[in-house]
Amino acid sequence: MKKNNKKKRNKKKNNNNLTIIGILLIFFSVVLIIYAMAKTINISNSTTIPNDYIVVFNGGVGEITNSTYIYKIDNGDINHGFTYINTKNTTVSYGSSEWSQKITDKGRVDNKDEIFEEAKKNNAYSFVSLPEVDVTYSIDDYKDMFLN
């Protein structure tokens, strides 16, 4: 009789151990999945802006501004189009001189007029700057230069 009770207790212990191991495996699996999802979201919301843009439209005031970066697509066609990256730029804290930049949208436009429309939709329609040039241009001045 004592041997049967001992066997039952051992069997219960083994079942409890398997249950604990199962719960731990599920827990670590869930943690791993959440970590992978967070990494994926972080990559897709990357704030790294490629530096080969041809122009950047800027707008907004104070602690919140918007930018639209324009990239030329060169695939050998005459009407190659453009890609854009829209960003929202905010100061890290009120009054700070440090800025945080978040990509809000990416896309493609087929012609030059659509570039201006996209910048306007992103509220980045105050002034234009070119890479490696310290001069800013008004939207109208840039339109005259770019569309002609």
Residue 109: pLDDT above 80?
Answer: yes
Bigger pLDDT: 66 or 45?
Answer: 66
Could you give the CA distance from residue 100 to residue 146 in angstroms, rounded to a whole number?
29
Instruction: Give the pLDDT of residue 43.
Output: 47
Q: What is the mean pLDDT of residues 119-135?
A: 94
pTM passes above 0.75:
no
Regarding beta strands 99-109 and 82-91, do their DSSP bridges make them parallel or antiparallel, or are they unpaired? Answer: antiparallel
Could you give the CA distance from residue 59 to residue 127 in angstroms, rounded to a whole number?
7
